[in-house]
Amino acid sequence: MRAIAPIAALLLAACSAVAVPSAFAQTPYAGPLFDTHLHYNQEAWDGNTGPYPPAEALARMQRNNVKAIIANSRPNAGTQTLAAARETREAGVTVVPFVRLYRNRDDYSNWFRDETIHEMVQTELARGTASGPYRGIGEFHLYESANANGPVARKLIALAERQKLAVLAHVDDVAIDLLMANAPSKGQSLRLIWAHTGIGGAPIERVQALLERYPLLMGELSYRPGLTCEGGKLCPEWRALLLKYPDRFVVGSDTWVNQRWSAYDEIMRGYRTWLGDLPPDVAQRIAWGNAAALFNLR
């Protein structure tokens, strides 16, 4: 027995040497999440009978501790339904409704020049939702940056700033400048949430320059290229950017197709993993606090 004691001691030392890194591994962020990019589109629920009726969608939010959502949908009936649903209240989810500019797929590439969209937005704003008035417009897309200068795009940006509505825009960095230029304040008081913070991977220096130029610009981080590296942790340059601007970023699921609803748990787990890389107060702001402050939630 005595003869093997040193071996046992060695083994013990080896095991604890291996155990040390995992003991110090970051733990995932465990607090509440604000899903700032949620679509409840026609195909997700189909007026109740689709694969993700309200109870199914809300169950996903609830089990991931998603306590608030920016809800928007093609057409707006999805948002209206979530805003009114008993399940929403039971799940403790606050709905922050946005007017979507799309009635159907054709509207994606025409909204910026289609006067009937401008009318639809005004009707919808006047109508409001069971969760209160609309708080923003979007998500909208600009596949060509220059369409930010389309007549209806100009009108809607001016309307958003006037009525203190936030804007959720899936655009490139060039279009950010164009949209901001069309705001009466030249971008100084437009609450613009940049969907994906540039899905085409605008260089990090460019993202930083835009954050500097426009004080109310926020970056939403779904699908952002270059954000995460090995093991789903933040890449170093993005970690540095988030630490430099802890008040300017938010997260979202972007349930633009049903596959994103089926992956909802995984998407939220992914956020929790890299949020765990940040100091707890910064993680809390990006996960929840920045969006909650924008919409005056508790």
The residue ranges that bind Zn ion (CB under 5 A) are 139, 254, 256
Dihedral angle, C-alpha 81, 82, 83, 89, nearest 10 ° = 130
Dihedral angle, C-alpha 202, 194, 245, 25, nearest 10 ° = -80
**Given the complex with Zn ion, which of 139 and 161 has the nearer CB atom?**
139
Query: To the nearest whole angstrom, how small is the minimum distance from the Cβ of residue 59 to Zn ion?
Result: 21
**Given the complex with Zn ion, which of 168 and 216 has the nearer CB atom?**
168
Q: Which of 28, 31, 39 is nearest to 66 (CA)?
A: 31
Distances (CA, A) of 78 to 40, 50, 95, 100: 5, 12, 12, 10
Query: To the nearest whole angstrom, how small is the minimum distance from the Cβ of residue 142 to Zn ion?
Result: 13
**Given the complex with Zn ion, which of 102 and 276 has the nearer CB atom?**
102
Alpha-carbon distance 111 to 103, whole Å?
A: 10
Query: To the nearest whole angstrom, how small is the minimum distance from the Cβ of residue 242 to Zn ion?
Result: 21
**Given the complex with Zn ion, which of 161 and 254 has the nearer CB atom?**
254
Query: To the nearest whole angstrom, how small is the minimum distance from the Cβ of residue 230 to Zn ion?
Result: 27
Structure tokens at 189: 């008081």
CA atoms within 13 A on the CB side of 17: 6
The residues, any chain, with a CB within 8 Å of residue 97's CB and separated by 6 or more, are: 71, 72, 79, 80, 83, 129, 131, 132, 133, 134, 135
Q: 149: helix, coil or strand?
A: helix
Structure tokens at 280: 């707890």
* Cβ density class 195-208: b for 16+ within 10 Å, e for less: bbbbbebbebeebe
Alpha-carbon distance 90 to 88, whole Å?
A: 5
Query: To the nearest whole angstrom, how small is the minimum distance from the Cβ of residue 205 to Zn ion?
Result: 25
Query: To the nearest whole angstrom, how small is the minimum distance from the Cβ of residue 222 to Zn ion?
Result: 8
**Given the complex with Zn ion, which of 90 and 143 has the nearer CB atom?**
143
Dihedral angle, C-alpha 202, 291, 285, 216, nearest 10 ° = 50
**Given the complex with Zn ion, which of 196 and 272 has the nearer CB atom?**
196
**Given the complex with Zn ion, which of 121 and 283 has the nearer CB atom?**
121
Query: To the nearest whole angstrom, how small is the minimum distance from the Cβ of residue 55 to Zn ion?
Result: 23
Distances (CA, A) of 294 to 142, 180, 181, 283: 24, 18, 22, 16
Query: To the nearest whole angstrom, how small is the minimum distance from the Cβ of residue 170 to Zn ion?
Result: 6
**Given the complex with Zn ion, which of 114 and 254 has the nearer CB atom?**
254
